[in-house]
Chain A
């Protein structure tokens, strides 16, 4: 599943770009997590920490004309597809300057102008929406694709079967990316999911692949195959990216869960397989970057995080007096 160094031929710049994209998500989300725990964020936040290689592996190959649909754990996809961190932070803080002017919050970050259909509070909802966007892309005939990111828990929604069926029949340019992070909320996958999720593509005759979701290069190559196939009009794929959610299902969980649902050892094992340090080592070992390069990126991202938080904190809350049905209808 992992890729030999000899098979990798990305430029130094591309490799650093992947590193930057993953680290950017990580650092922004760490800050969101801290702020959530400090009580600075009004609603629930679900962090993507540990899964960054999946979002970046796919989204780094997309343009604004391609569509992605995401989940309640959606900051990473939003950022990977080019979403703005200031608008993200302001939205999560519930401010007027958020990209949804405080109407959506963490679970609904979206930017349609960048093809980001957005996070979704309904588990599995993005699967059908992206199938429709992919149908639109097919009718447009310009080679755009749609990608739905969803969890292993969402794979148990019947809509996945419906979508695979119609996507294969219509040869839609769509990729269903299941990020199997081991848990559906607090239920370990083994207790709620039968068989291998990727095998659910087989009866429909959809292309399918399992990939190490903590290996950016492996994800990138797998994504490249699926995207190429979709752009060429050769139909959908189901990808199962095996990964792990390092943080809680929701940041506040320690405050309300009465017992543990996973062992510290298991978490530690997966932290040892963290996609970002592994990638940093790979880039350095290959002589494609120096520690100084990585430090520079770290500093740039730290500045971006600070700026985003300052922007959010300095922004006003939306004015309830202005509230009405103004966004209900166009």
Chain B
């Protein structure tokens, strides 16, 4: 184990996979110099033909990923900010997600579309979307949202190995956070949630960057004697609903934390599954802690007020349990 930043973990996963498999290629805008640092150094190590800067042409880029994957490559298509996938959305929504199905499985499309997502950094509305629910609804595309450097490495390796398109969404501004990363070819299966901490009173499912504030909220709630079982799904397609359901059957309570807008969020989907499949186990209504249905603003106090945080997560849990905020908190 060594402490690594998330960006470093992603960089090492890309480097390791490129070294192992000559069919892995990386392309996108500025991937050679690397805006975020995740693709830095790859060109020098693996060659200019495998690590290619693209013009600002997301429409052709997302489709090139489909064509190159159909023709036998494992393509990492770096969209930079997740919001930029909208300018290249046809090939994601109409091609990558559907070509295998429409041709009755004639092809596999091993593509990783990667991008930074979510708010919290005054990037304003056009650089801050949490677009995973939209991708979930497309079908045909897996969606990974790592919360820690170790998960980023393990999930990205799996995403590159996976014969299907995978959207790998790295939470904005989390690249610098450190975490323990196992040595060697650390791999995490797509579709396996992680129980971050066990508890008996309430299940909190937190997605992506929301895992960290949920963890802090759980620590704080522990002081009031509240046992939180914290689950990080790690991928929302496939979704490890079995693990979530099992936990909710145990605790009887569910709070879902998602930095997507509330309407048709991953949180509402998870809430629906639990309402549907373990209604009898529920002792209280399911709560969602999400972003209101507005665009994310620029000014820090405005933005902060909209995103889920330790206080809003704790508050949701307390209200479920009918307990007042702890003194001094």
Contact = CB atoms under 8 A, between A and B. Distances in A.
A163 to B, nearest CB: 5
- The winner among A102, A125, A138, A329 for most chain B CB atoms within 10 A is A329
Nearest to B25: A139
Given A162-B60, A328-B139, A328-B140, 18 more contacts: A103-B103, A112-B106, A117-B67, A122-B94, A128-B61, A129-B66, A129-B91, A136-B71, A136-B72, A137-B71, A138-B49, A140-B72, A165-B55, A165-B57, A327-B103, A329-B142, A329-B164, A330-B164
Interface residues of A, number: 48
Nearest to B139: A328
A103 B95 contact: no
Given A159-B63, A162-B59, A170-B52, A327 B105 contact: yes
B29 to A, nearest CB: 12
B69 interface: yes
Interface size class of B (residues with CB under 8 A): 35 or more
B324 interface: no
A131 interface: yes
A178 B107 CA distance: 26
A135 B67 contact: yes
19 contacts: A100-B103, A100-B106, A103-B103, A104-B102, A104-B104, A108-B102, A111-B106, A117-B70, A128-B62, A128-B64, A128-B66, A129-B91, A133-B70, A165-B55, A166-B60, A326-B105, A327-B103, A327-B105, A330-B100
Contacts of B86: none
Nearest to B237: A329
B65 interface: yes
Given A134-B67, A166-B54, A159 B101 contact: no
Interface of A: 67, 69, 99-104, 108, 110-113, 117-118, 120-122, 125, 127-140, 146, 158-159, 162-163, 165-166, 169-170, 325-330
A120 B75 CA distance: 21
Q: Which of A104, A128, A137 has the most CB of B within 10 A?
A: A128
B73 interface: yes
Nearest to A139: B49
B94 A127 contact: no
Contacts of B124: none
